[in-house]
Each structure stands twice: as C-alpha cells, then as structure tokens.
Structure 1
Amino acid sequence: MGFNYYIPTKILFGQGKLNELGNQSLPGKRALIVTSSGTSVIKYGYLDRVKEQLEKAGVSSIVFNKILPNPIKEHVMEGAALAKAESIDFVVGLGGGSSIDAAKAIAVMATNDGDYWDYISGGTGKGLPVPNDPLPIVAITTTAGTGTEADPWTVTTKSETNEKIGFGYDKTFPVLSIVDPELMLTVPKFLTAYQGFDALFHSTEGYLNTTSYVMSDMYALKAIELIGKSLATAVQDGSNIEARENVALANTLAGMVESTSGCTSEHSMAHALSAYHPSFEHGAALISISVAYYTHFAKSGKCDDRMIDMARALGNKNATSPMDFVEALKALQVACDVADIKMSDYDVSYEELPTLVDNAVDTMGGLFAVDPTPLSKKDVLAILQASYK
C-alpha cells in the first residue's frame, strides 16, 4: 500500500465557476490566452468572459489563437516567441484539450531556448532535461475529453516526421484549473461523444496499466461509472446540465488517472492514426480501434478480473466475463451513435496499416511497456486490420 502521490493543481469545479476566476490569486499581471483556430470561444462569449475576469484580477492579456485540433510544433514555437516578446507572466489555456495542451508546451518554450523537440523523449526527440521552469499554466476547459486540466501531459505533432508524442513532468501541471460544465453545453453531439470516449479510455487504460495502484484505481472506476451513466444522455441531449456535469467530473477524474497511472498502447495507436491523418479526431481514432483492442486483452486471460470490474462500472452489474466489458463498450458506442466510424472516411488506407504500426511503436513505445500483457507488432497490425472499415 505504499505509494507517492502528486497532483498540485487547484481545481474549481462546478456550474458558474468561471465567474470566480477574477477572485483568484493569479501568478502574474500579464497573460497569454491560448485558444484554437476555431471560433467557438468567441461565438459563445467565453473568450470575452475570460478577459473580463482577468481584468477584474488586474491582469492584462493577449490572445494566441492558432491551435489546431492536433497541435503542431510550429505553433508551439510561435506562441512561445510571442510570450517572450510580450513579457508574459503566465499562460491560460482556454478551450478543449488541444488548447490546454498547447498552452503547456508554449509555457515550457517561453522560458527555454532551442527547439521543443529537444525536450521530447521518443522518436526523433533528443530527450534533454528542461533547464528552466515553464511559465505557470491556468487551464479553463470548455470540453470533457482529455483531462489535461488535472494532469501534466501535453501532446504535440512534429509535422515533417509524422510524430505525435506526449510530454510532461511535474512542472507542467496547471497551477489552477476551472471546470465549468456550463461552458460545455455548446459542444456539438459528435464531439461530445468523441471527447467522452477519450476520457473513458484514459480511465480504462489507466485501470489495465501495469503501473495502476489504489489511487488510480479509485479515480478510474468512478470515471468509468459516470461515463456509463451519463455520456449517452449528454450526447443525445446536450442541454442536460446534470449529464454534462457528470461527464465533466469523469473527465477530470480521468486526468487524475493520467497523473497517477497512465495510458497504454491504445493511445499510441490512435496517435499514429492522427499523426498521418490530422483530420482524424483523437477520440474518433480511439473509438475506431477500441473494440478490437479490448477484445484482444479480454481473450488474453491476463486481466480478466479488471475487465470484469470495468464492465460492472460501465453499467453491466452482472458481468462475469472479460468480454462483458467489450459488449458494454459496443452498447455505449451504439447509444452515442459512434459505432460505425470508418478509418477509410479519413483517407486511411488498408495498405498503410503496417506503417502506422511502426509509427506507434517507434514514437510512443513506452506505452506498450505498460500493457497488461505484451503486444507484438503482429498483434498491433491484427488489431488495426480488424478495426478497418
């Protein structure tokens, strides 16, 4: 029962919590607000509200709004250069996981020299230690998917080499996160589903991960339970604030799973798909491979009890078999109208699947090391082939 535990983020959770930003003790007087290249934070007034709250706290701000759904290194470096030029004190990530992830990476490079990939481990990254502490990070999430408001991780793509790799350490935890379900009422149906399944898989992977322990297990099972209870309702009735709140809490708990246990190879495989096909939404990529992925482990005989635990948490209280989780997963995907995602719709070809296998293993091979039982490249290819539509 011995363990180390470290999640240093102050989290304001609940309806209307964005209105409390201006009352917080913030880490400086000048902020860079990092948002996506889309228009939703402007359309729904979230950006103006954040600016107003910062002004209330005596903080001036500028906006960097180029972040793509799959953040790229070029924008990290551009945002960091802006932060340096404008003498920024802290970075605010406003939006979905991509904006907050990018805010973390920008915060690192705003205080350090060289190229972001100098500090990345895996692939062509140099894996160098980060000399200087990053700028403080404030996370304001408008979606329920990545849990990045409660973990140190950030995922960035190096476009020229098709490498999508995670990075993070103790200093990249946000110092403050706001999780306000009211900001999630405007998320479209299918994005709600994609993001919710991302949170689910952070939790299921964390529960099967060989590094799991009592704290990560507690967060993972509760997150799975909340998603099983409320995700389909949030997808089909986006105005249901109770369902939004439950999924938001599941997402934040899933971030805590990421901080205590972590992902397995499912995320490596999904990252490979969107590294080569950036329009392939991360959650959609995960969904597309999930049934074959979890079927492989259900039939392995190596994690039967944990698969049954997850099935019961997801809603099948009478589960007695590892495959009961797979069936519950299928049912949830049907209920959320995402059971028929096709790789081919994102221009993934069957012939390129071996390339994706190599990319998954070569760029984020560390996640394969914590699978409940080892996956060979042959196994990975079989999962992708079984998933292909």
Structure 2
Amino acid sequence: MTRVTSASDDDDDDGSFDLDVKMTFGYYTSFDSDETHHSNSGAYLFRPRTPDERLRAFIPDPTKSWAFRSDLVTEVHVGFDVPWMKQITRLRKGQPYVEVEYTVGPIPIDDGVGKEIVARYDSGIQSRGVLYTDSNGREFVQRKRGYRPTWELKEYEPVAGNYYPVNAAAYVEDEDKDDDDDDDDDHRASMAVLVDRSQGGASLSDGSIELMIQRRVLADDGRGVGEPLNETVGGVTPYPPYGDASRRGEGIVVKGVHRILVGEGGSGARLARSLMDRTWSPPHVFAASSVAASSDNVLFKRPGFSAFGGDLPENVMVITHSLVEKMGSVMTFLVRFAHQYAKGEDERLSKPARIDLNKFYGDDFVRVSIAEKTLSGNQDYDQWAKRRLRWKKGGGGVLPTAAAGDDEWIVELNPMEIKTYLIELSAV
C-alpha cells in the first residue's frame, strides 16, 4: 500500500491531499482454442482464458527489494516471485505525482500459455462503476462498467468487455452522493493514472484502474495478421514458401512509466491534464562531441537557444512545428496550437486562451507572413469556412464561429480547439 500525497487547492486545510493506493502487478492467461468458431486472444483481441478470470498477482520478494534516498529523489525497487518482473516506485522532489516504472520480460511461454501483464492501482474511491479515459489525448469519455449508452448490454466477457483504449490518461473519482447521503463532500477524492504510451485500461471494481503493460500470446485471433502476438528479440524467419515463419530468440523486454496523481473529488480531469503531455512526450536529450562544439555551427557557441522568445499560456501546447519549405533565409513552418483543456475541467485553465505571436518568436527571426489553414493544412481556413455546413443547435439557432481578430498574429483558442497555420519566418 502506498500513500499518494498531492497539493490541495483548499486554503483551509494543511495544503495536502492523501489517498491510499494499492499497487498490484499480475497477469491474465490468454484464451486459446483450436476450434475455428472461437475468437482467440491475439493482436486485435484481448480475451482471458475464462470470461471472469481473476488477475494472477505477482508476490513481492523482500530479498529482491531495496530503497534509495537522495536530496532529489526517493526510489523503492521491488522484485517479485518471478524473475521477469521488476518495479521502481519513485518520488521526485517538488513533483506532485508518484512515478511507477516497470520492467517486464521476457515473458515465459514454456508452459504453452499466453500471458497478458497488467498493472492495477486500487483505492477507496467510490466510483460507482465509472471510469474516464481520454480520446487520443483530447476529450475524456465516460465509461460505465457493464453498460453501453445506445443498447442494452448482455455481458458475456466481464473482463475483456470493460477494457478501453487509454492513450494518455485514465481517472476515477467519487461520484456524486445521493441527496440523503450524510458523507461530507470533503471526503470525495479523485485518482488519475498517466501513461507514456497507448495501453488498454479498465476499472473492474470501484476505485480501481488497471492497465495492460505487455502481452505475449501463442494463438492468432483470426483478424488478418495471420500470426500470434509473440514478439522476440531475434525477429522471425521468412514466411512460406521461403521459410517456416518461426520466431527467433527470447521474448522482448519492455520498460514503461505510470504516474499517479490524487486530488479532491471532481478534479480527475484537471489532474490528468496537468501532466499528460509531459508524461506522454518528455523532452529528448541529445549530446554532441567536442568536435561538433568547436565547429562553425553558431548554435554550439551559445549557452542556450530557443526559436521561441516567449512562453505559451499554461493551457496551450504547440503540437506541430514542422519545416515545410526553405528558400534562402525564408523558412515556412506548419504550426498547430492546441488548447489542452475541455470546458468545465478547470475553473481557470478551461477558459479561452490568447497567444501573441508578435512576442512568441524570438529575436533570431523576423516575421514575414501568417495564414490560417484547416486542420489538415491543405486549405485556406477562410475559403473553407465559407463552404462548410452550418450546424444548427437544438433550439434552432446556428452554432457561432470564432471571429477573427484585427491582428492576424494573435491567436485565440476556445477549450479543446486546435488551430493550424503556415508561418513564414526569416532568419536574422
């Protein structure tokens, strides 16, 4: 059991919020049948051997566990009763999250059984069967256990049938109490788990989030790949008629990271948004040789360099900044700015954002021109807007469109809005 603590937004308390979270690693065994009318667990399908199979938990081994402490970080390294599973729980100074780093593999298949490895985080949150998962890093979608919004579900696969894509984050929170419930709202809590890659996720019991971190199965699911999901370090031999398409070497080893944040009830989306981008796409670190440093490249002769001369608002991110064309000193960039919060997720950060590109680009560039494009970047936005369908609201009125400002170098974004531009800059 780990107690996760985060800063509180309530000025009346001691400035922190605590929630006990139990971390469990384990696996499901994969369904594998020789009968053609059955769907095996495979590249496209997750299906445990029995519909209501329970997670087979790994047991922590104290003889393989130890702790490390410094002024900047505290780490707890945990080994398990299987040699191919390791965990590091990490607390970084000044950070509001608990980081869980896992290393899995090679997954053994000597027993002829496929295995689907899961990390599960259990809390006391009364989520009432509700889980929220992101849709490709944008809107959060409400998922209800054993429920579909458009038809009456007859559930045959209670485990697999409640798994959903998690691209960036998932969260659970105490749902609203009944009117006659005497529980104080101060006890309501939220828990968000952030991922560094797309994974399957579920909440099979209240207050729980589980994420599938690795799979190795031995049967094809019959959905077009034509082979089991059995990745090995040596690859695969040629396919018939040139070979037998057999796997070479041991199974692969994967390493990944989850970050856990907790907070007051109703704050799940805000917690997830606060660190989603940094978890999924951390900065890349590069090193150069001393030869490069002594070259004529001006960048290596400066202690720091950024093409951007100013900071973006906290709720905005540059999601694309790609060089399209270079003619002499003039460079054309495809740039996308995205508002990273949805309406109602945060009292302050869910408001419209404003970016002044006159101040955004630094002194190393002269602004030449800017043109707003459609999201795909292949049409002028103004021309496309004249041809677009004007959807009506429920009351019969026409949905408003954002009005362009007087200064084309000032970008205004509504919650969850993405705007695309072709920007020409000239190097000084």
- Structure 1 or 2: larger strand share? 2
**TM-score, length-normalised on structure 1?**
0.28
- Structure 1 or 2: larger helix share? 1
**TM-score, length-normalised on structure 2?**
0.26
